[in-house]
Amino acid sequence: MMDIRALGYVVVESTDLGRWEHFATRVAGLGVSPSASGENALFLKMDDYAWRIRVVQGAEDRYLCAGWELAGPQAFADAIRELDAAGIMWRRADAGQCAARRVQEMLAFTAPGGLACELFHGMVLDYLPPVSAAGSTQFVTGYHGNMGLGHIAAATPDLAASHRFFTQVMGFGQTDYLHLHMSPDPADPGQGLHFLHCNNPRHHSLALFESATPMPGNLVHLMFEVPDIDAVGAFMDRVHAHGVQIATNLGRHTNDRMVSLYVVTPAGFMLEFGYDGVQIDWSTYLPTRSSTTSHWGHRWGQG
Ligand SMILES: [Fe+2]
């Protein structure tokens, strides 16, 4: 199985890079990367990594893919063998693309269930702070970024196939299975969510959400974590100041204990912004099954 270390980056398509730059730097607290550029894209950074979000100019506003970080060249070569054995078609980024993106090697493929993925290793750490108009926001990304940028929750029409691929080929570990009943109808079968971790202490780097209805880019949300409630409060003030649409009020999640709120990004998917997420020692962990998302709050449509 692959040795995926973290959610290294996320790629978004945008009809208006200026709108994304405004949202990312004025509201989310990211900085424009001083060390990665080109390819008609906006590179945004949050920590020591050269960049964490790549926004490419395009015809639609949507999520494109996640970049999963491998430990090094050997893990990258092993991952290629895993993809070949699983019958997955992949394509390698050329030298120019790797140089622009400040990585050693990179490849792209589409996982079962339709989730676009990239694999890479060796992104340059420029150790530059994310300077933004919102001030200097610190993000929880581990030691020199080794916990990755946060997590994503992605929709899949075939939860079983996606779960099988991410656990058995990509090597993700099971953290929690949540079965949700969103309607009071007893005949409603409900929906399942798998929360999966990779090789870092973050509770989950990927959540897979069962959804028969396709969503733009199949992304439900992207999560950024900050160190304390004051950084969440400052974000809430910026959300109000810039008229950003709020999707939920503040709440505490049950399984990862994150205190967070959700807002709508210019690409249509949500950004979860929170603090106090649990970090786990996987050697002693038992996967859980749960039936509710939140201890309190996270009410939809409430600011
Ligand atoms: Fe989340």
Percent of the chain with pLDDT over 70: 98
Q: Same domain for 221 and 286? A: yes
Q: What is the pLDDT of residue 65?
A: 95
Looking at 121, 154, 178, which one is the last position of a domain?
121
Distance 270 CA to ligand 1 centre (A): 10
- Whether pTM > 0.85 for this model: the answer is yes
Q: Which amino acid is at 263?
A: V
Contact 73, 121 (CB under 8 A): yes
Question: What angle (nearest 5°) sits at the alpha carbon of residue 173, between those of residues 167 and 177?
Answer: 90
Report which of residues 9 and 137 the model is more confident about.
9
Distance 33 CA to ligand 1 centre (A): 25
Q: Which domain holds residue 193?
A: 143-297
Number of domains in the chain: 2
Q: What is the mean pLDDT of residues 148-156?
A: 96
pLDDT at residue 136 greater than cutoff 80? no
Q: What is the pLDDT of residue 80?
A: 98
Q: What is the pLDDT of residue 214?
A: 67
Per the structure block, which two tokens stand in for 277?
A: 């997420």
Spatial separation of the C-alpha atoms in residues 271 and 28, rounded to whole Å: 9
Distance 253 CA to ligand 1 centre (A): 8
Distance 49 CA to ligand 1 centre (A): 22
Query: Over the chain, what is the mean pLDDT?
Result: 94
pLDDT at residue 179 greater than cutoff 80? yes
In a domain, 83, yes or no: yes
Q: What is the pLDDT of residue 55?
A: 97
Tokens 């100041």 locate to 241
Distance 205 CA to ligand 1 centre (A): 9
Q: What is the pLDDT of residue 216?
A: 64
Distance 220 CA to ligand 1 centre (A): 9
Q: Same domain for 175 and 283? A: yes
Report which of residues 131 and 31 the model is more confident about.
31
Distance 1 CA to ligand 1 centre (A): 25
Distance 139 CA to ligand 1 centre (A): 15
Domain containing residue 282: CATH number: 3.10.180.10
- The tens digit of pLDDT for each residue in 219-238 reads 889 999 999 999 999 999 99
Q: What is the pLDDT of residue 138?
A: 94
Distance 262 CA to ligand 1 centre (A): 9
Q: Same domain for 42 and 114? A: yes
Distance 293 CA to ligand 1 centre (A): 10
Phi, psi values for residue 162, rounded to 5°: -65, -45
Distance 249 CA to ligand 1 centre (A): 14
- The tens digit of pLDDT for each residue in 55-82 reads 999 999 999 999 999 999 999 999 999 9
Distance 177 CA to ligand 1 centre (A): 14
Spatial separation of the C-alpha atoms in residues 172 and 156, rounded to whole Å: 16
Distance 74 CA to ligand 1 centre (A): 31
Q: Which residues are CB-contacts of 149 (< 8 A; sequence separation ≥ 6)?
A: 6, 7, 8, 9, 10, 46, 47, 49, 52, 53, 139, 141, 224
Q: What is the pLDDT of residue 303?
A: 63
- The tens digit of pLDDT for each residue in 257-302 reads 999 999 999 999 999 999 999 999 999 999 999 999 999 999 988 7
Q: Same domain for 291 and 150? A: yes
Q: What is the pLDDT of residue 150?
A: 98
